[in-house]
Structure 1
Amino acid sequence: MVNFYKPKAVNKNLNQQLTVEINSLDMNGDGVARQGKKPIFVESALPGETVEIKVTEEKSKYLRAKTKKVLVVATNRVTPICKHFYQCGGCDLQHLDYEGQLAFKQQKISDLFHRNSNIEHLPWQPALHADIWHYRRKARIGVQYNKLNEATVGFRQKSSNVLTPIKRCPVLPETFADEFSDFVALINSFSSKQAISHIEVIKAEVSVVIFRQVRKLSNNDKQKLHNFNLHKPYQVALQQDDGLHFLEPQNDNYLSYKVSGCELQFTTTDFVQVNINLNAKMVNQAIQWLELDANDNVLDLFCGLGNFSLPIAKRVNAIVGVEGVQDMVDRAAMNAQSNQLSNCQFYQADLNAENNDWPWLNANNENIINKVVLDPARAGAYNAVKNIVELNVKTVLYVSCDAATMARDTKILLDNGFTLSKICLMDMFSQTRHVETMALFVRP
C-alpha cells in the first residue's frame, strides 16, 4: 500500500493579534466574532464591542481568543468586583451588568428549547433571583504546593488545573470570603508538609470548614488546628480516610438549614442547593405554581433529602418521594420525622432505568397521585417523564439545572397532551453562565 504524505496543518492564526467586532454571546458567555465564515470565541468580550484579541486556540471550524484591549466598550460592561476575575475560572460574567446576565441566561434557555424541542415562544414569568453576592452555601477550595512546599489556596484558572491564589471571594458567604490568607498561613505553618489536599466550606445553621488530610499531622500541627478553631465563627473538621472528625465534640455529624417552615438535616457529602436564599424562593414558588390544597397527593421524583417534599407535605394530603441514593432516602425519612410530618413515604429507585413499573407508586392505593414534582440532575429525566405521561396526573412541575435535557424531556410531555403553562429562569449561580429553570406543565 502506498503511503501518501500529508503535510501538517499550519496554525496560521495561533498567537496572532486581531481587531474584531463582537456580535453575540455563545452558550458559555464568550463573545462571538468572525473571521470570514469561521467564528472566534473571545473570553470576556460583550456584544457591541470592538476588541483587540490574541488567538489562543485554532481548530478547523473555529478559533478561541482572549481579550487584550477593549476599543469600543458596551454600555452594559461593568468593572468586576473580584480582582481575580480575569484569572479565576469560578465566575464567567462579572464584567456584564446584572440585567445583562439575566437577559443572556433567559435567551440561552430560549435557544436550547428551540433547538431541542422546536418551541419558538415560551410563556416566560419574571426571573427568580436573590443575593447576587455572598450566596454560595458550599464550595470546594483547592490546595497546591510549589517546590518549597509553600501552599497556594484558591480556585482553578480558566481552562487549567493550575490554581489562582485567591485573597477574597465575593460569591462566598462573608463567613468565608476573607479566610484564604488565614488558610494559607495555617497550612504553611504545619511541620507535616503537603498534608492538606483541599478545603471545603459549608454555610449552615452551624457552619463548618473541612480540611482534607492526606498525610499524617504531628501533634503540634493538630494543636495549631485547635488554636485556629478557637478564633473562628465556624467549626473546623478534618476529613480523613476513616471519616469526618470535628475538632470540637459534636452531638452528631449533621448540619442543617431551614426552608419554608422546615428544618432539614444533611451531612457534608449530601447534595444541597448552593444558593441559600434562592433555594427558599424556589421552594415557595413551586408551592404557589402547584396550587396545592389538602386533597392533593404529590409525587416528588429525585427528591433528595426532602428539599421540596417536606414543605409540600405541610400543605397536602400525602406525598411520595423517590430518590436513587439510599442514604438520601434515609435522610428524607429522618427529616420528615424530625419535622413531625407523618404523611410522607420515601423510596429508593433508579428513576433513569427504562421500563420501570414503579411498584412503590401503588404502595398506598387510596392516595391517587394527581401532581408531580421533578428535580433531576443534569442528565434530565427522560425515562421518568415517559412513565409520568402514563399516569393520570394533570400537573407536572419540572425543576432543571440543564436546559438542554429539560427541553428534550419537554417534547415528551407536549407530545402526550401537556401544555407548557409557565417557565422562569432561576438565577441559582449569579455571576456564572450556569442556568436553572422551573417549568409548569398542565394537562386538560
Structure 2
Amino acid sequence: MTALIEVSITDLAHDGRGVARRSDGKTVFVAGALPGETARVHIVKRNRHFDEARIEELLVRSPQRIEPRCPHFGTCSGCSMQHLPTAAQIAAKQDVLAENFERIGKVAPARWLEPLTGEPWGYRRKGRLSVKWVAKKDKVVVGFREDNPRFIADLGQCHTLLPAVGLRIAELGALIGGLEARADIAQIEIAAGDDTVALTLRNLRPLSDADRSALVEFARHHGLAILLQPGGPDSVTPLWPDTVALSFAIPEFDVDIAFRPLDFIQVNGDMNLRMIHHALELLELAPGDRVLDLFCGLGNFTLPIARRVAAVTGVEGEAALVARSRDNALRNGIDNARFFAADLAVDQRDAPWARESWDKLLLDPPRSGAAGVFDYLPRKGTDRIVYVSCHPGSLARDAGILVNRHGFRLEAAGVMDMFPHTAHVESIATFVRE
C-alpha cells in the first residue's frame, strides 16, 4: 500500500466522489468523502492530471454524513451517495446542472424549477444483475459491478431495486448455485410492469430439465416470471408462465404501454409518471398543436401527448421500438400519433417529418444529446421546446446551441431525481423562442 496522505475535501465531483488537492496542487478524487471532511487516504490510481484515492481514516466528519442503509455501500458501484441525506443529494445534483450550464453552455435558466422527487427506496423496476460462479467461494455471486468492473459485488440484497427482487438476491444466488448450469448463467435482466415482475436469465448453454424445473418452482413460489435468453435479444422466450405480458399504465392520460423484457423503459416507474405530467405541463399543450417527439422510444411521451393535441409524431432510432409504439397506439385507440424509425445522429433534413411544421418539440435523447438534430431543426414555426436529459453536460452544450444559434431563451430548468442515491443527474429544461 502507498503511504497515506492527509487531504481536506472541498467539493463533490459529478460522480459523487469528494474533491481534494494535494500539497503540490494535484487534484485527488476520494471515494466516499464529503465536502468539509478531512481524511487520511491512500492513492489507488495515479493519472497524469489527477489521482484517485480511498479513505483509510476519517479525521473530520461532515455534519451531513449519515450511515448508508446498504451494507454493500462503498463496494457496489450501484450507489455512490447513500452517505448523504436525500435533500443534500438533490442539492448536489442541482449544483452539477448549474455548473454545466455555466461552464459548457455559457447559459443560465431564467428560473429554476422545483426538483422533482419521489420515493428514494425500492424504485428500480429495470436493471441488470451480473452473475458468476466463483469456485474459490463455492458459490454463485449475484450483484452489480464493483467500482473495479472486473469484479461483481457479492450482494445479499439491494434496497434500490423493487423489493420483489431486491430482497431476494441472496435467494437468487442460492437458486443458480444449485443448478447444473451454474457456471453458464451470465446475467439476470429485471423488468417489471404494473402486474408482473420478469427475470430474464442469460443462459450460455441449454438448461437441463432439472434446472428448468428448479427455476419454474422458484418463479411459482415467489410470483415471478422467468424467461431464458440463450442468444441475442430475439432469442428471449418464456420459461414460466407460457406467456409473459408486461405493461405500465399512465392513468392521467388513459394510456397503457406494453413492452418486452429487454426494451428500454424508464427505470423509476413512479418518477416516470411525475416526469410525463411535468414535461407536458411545460410544453403548454393546446388542442390545435402539432408536436414532434424525438428519441421517442416506446411512445412514453408521444402517446400521452396525443391525448392533448391535434397531431403528434414520434421518431426513434430502434425500429423494434417504433413497431411497438405503433402497436401501443392501436391498443390505446390513438389515431393522431405517427411513428418513424430514423437514426437521429445522422442528418434527417430530407425526411418528410423533418420538413413539416411543428408548434412544439420534445427531446429525450441518450447521453450523447441532440446536437445533430439542431443542424436542421427546430424550424421557424416551433416556439417551445422541452428537453428531457440524462446527462447534464450534453444538455448544457445543446442549450448553448439553442440559445446562441437558434434564438431561444432558456426559460426554466431543474433536476428530476430519477435515480436516488446515485450521482446520475436527470434533468428537464424549457426553451422559448425569443
TM-score, normalised with respect to structure 1: 0.92
Matches within 5 A, 1:376-415: 376-415=365-404
Question: Bigger CA drift: 202-211 or 78-87?
Answer: 202-211
Aligned to 2:6: 19
Aligned to 1:196: 185
Is contact 1:195-1:216 (8 Å) kept? Answer: no
| 3-state SS, counterpart of residue 387 of structure 2 | strand
1:280-331: per-residue Cα shift (whole Å, max 9, x none)?
0000011111111211111111111100001110011111111111111111
The correspondence for 1:145, drawn from 133, 148, 169, is: 133
For the pair 1:99 / 2:87, whether they are aligned, the reply is yes
Aligned to 1:161: 150
Question: Bigger CA drift: 156-165 or 381-390?
Answer: 381-390
Aligned to 1:352: 345
The correspondence for 1:207, drawn from 184, 197, 200, is: 197
The correspondence for 1:305, drawn from 286, 298, 304, is: 298
For the pair 1:292 / 2:282, whether they are aligned, the reply is no
How far does residue 117 in structure 1 lie from its aligned partner after superposition?
A: 1.2
For the pair 1:29 / 2:16, whether they are aligned, the reply is yes
Matches of 2:205 and 2:347, distance apart in 1: 44
| 3-state SS, counterpart of residue 66 of structure 1 | strand
For the pair 1:221 / 2:211, whether they are aligned, the reply is yes
Is contact 2:225-2:241 (8 Å) kept? Answer: no
1:98-125: per-residue Cα shift (whole Å, max 9, x none)?
1111111111111111121112565211
How far does residue 254 in structure 1 lie from its aligned partner after superposition?
A: 4.2
Matches of 2:290 and 2:109, distance apart in 1: 31
Matches within 5 A, 1:23-422: 23-36=10-23, 37-120=25-108, 123-147=111-135, 150-205=139-194, 206-241=196-231, 243-251=235-243, 253-259=244-250, 260=252, 261-354=254-347, 356-361=349-354, 368-415=357-404, 416-422=406-412
Counterpart residue identity of residue 396, structure 1: I
1:56-84: per-residue Cα shift (whole Å, max 9, x none)?
12233222110122221111111000000
Matches of 2:375 and 2:392, distance apart in 1: 18
Cα 1:193–1:421 shift into 2, 3 Å:
closer
Matches of 1:324 and 1:230, distance apart in 2: 37
Number of aligned pairs? 426
How far does residue 55 in structure 1 lie from its aligned partner after superposition?
A: 1.4
| 3-state SS, counterpart of residue 231 of structure 1 | helix
Matches of 1:120 and 1:277, distance apart in 2: 29
Is contact 2:191-2:262 (8 Å) kept? Answer: no
1:367-409: per-residue Cα shift (whole Å, max 9, x none)?
x420110101111111212322334211111111111111111
| 3-state SS, counterpart of residue 27 of structure 1 | coil
Aligned to 1:8: none
Question: Bigger CA drift: 347-356 or 316-325?
Answer: 347-356
Cα 1:163–1:355 shift into 2, 3 Å:
closer
Counterpart residue identity of residue 85, structure 1: F
Counterpart residue identity of residue 336, structure 1: A
Matches of 2:240 and 2:378, distance apart in 1: 51
Is contact 1:134-1:173 (8 Å) kept? Answer: yes
Is contact 2:107-2:399 (8 Å) kept? Answer: no
Matches of 1:75 and 1:257, distance apart in 2: 41
Is contact 2:384-2:432 (8 Å) kept? Answer: yes
Counterpart residue identity of residue 329, structure 1: V
Cα 1:194–1:294 shift into 2, 3 Å:
same
Structure number with the bigger relative contact order (C-alpha 8 A, sep ≥ 6) is: 2
1:252-284: per-residue Cα shift (whole Å, max 9, x none)?
x54111123311011112111101111100000
Is contact 1:127-1:425 (8 Å) kept? Answer: yes
Counterpart residue identity of residue 343, structure 1: N
| 3-state SS, counterpart of residue 413 of structure 2 | strand
Runs of 4+ in 1 over 6 A off after TM superposition: none
Is contact 1:39-1:63 (8 Å) kept? Answer: yes
Matches of 1:410 and 1:273, distance apart in 2: 23
| 3-state SS, counterpart of residue 78 of structure 1 | coil
How far does residue 358 in structure 1 lie from its aligned partner after superposition?
A: 2.7
Counterpart residue identity of residue 413, structure 2: I
Matches of 2:334 and 2:273, distance apart in 1: 19
| 3-state SS, counterpart of residue 158 of structure 1 | coil
Is contact 2:133-2:182 (8 Å) kept? Answer: no
State the Cα RMSD in Å: 1.6
| 3-state SS, counterpart of residue 153 of structure 1 | strand
Is contact 1:195-1:217 (8 Å) kept? Answer: no
How far does residue 234 in structure 1 lie from its aligned partner after superposition?
A: 1.5
| Identical counterparts, % of pairs | 36
Is contact 1:376-1:399 (8 Å) kept? Answer: yes
| 3-state SS, counterpart of residue 176 of structure 2 | helix
Matches of 1:311 and 1:121, distance apart in 2: 27
Matches of 1:42 and 1:111, distance apart in 2: 20
- Structure 1: gaps (5+ residues): 1-13
Counterpart residue identity of residue 289, structure 1: L
Matches of 2:311 and 2:326, distance apart in 1: 14
Cα 1:123–1:358 shift into 2, 3 Å:
farther
Is contact 2:109-2:413 (8 Å) kept? Answer: no
Matches of 2:127 and 2:313, distance apart in 1: 31
| 3-state SS, counterpart of residue 129 of structure 1 | coil
Instruction: Name the larger-Rg structure.
Output: 1
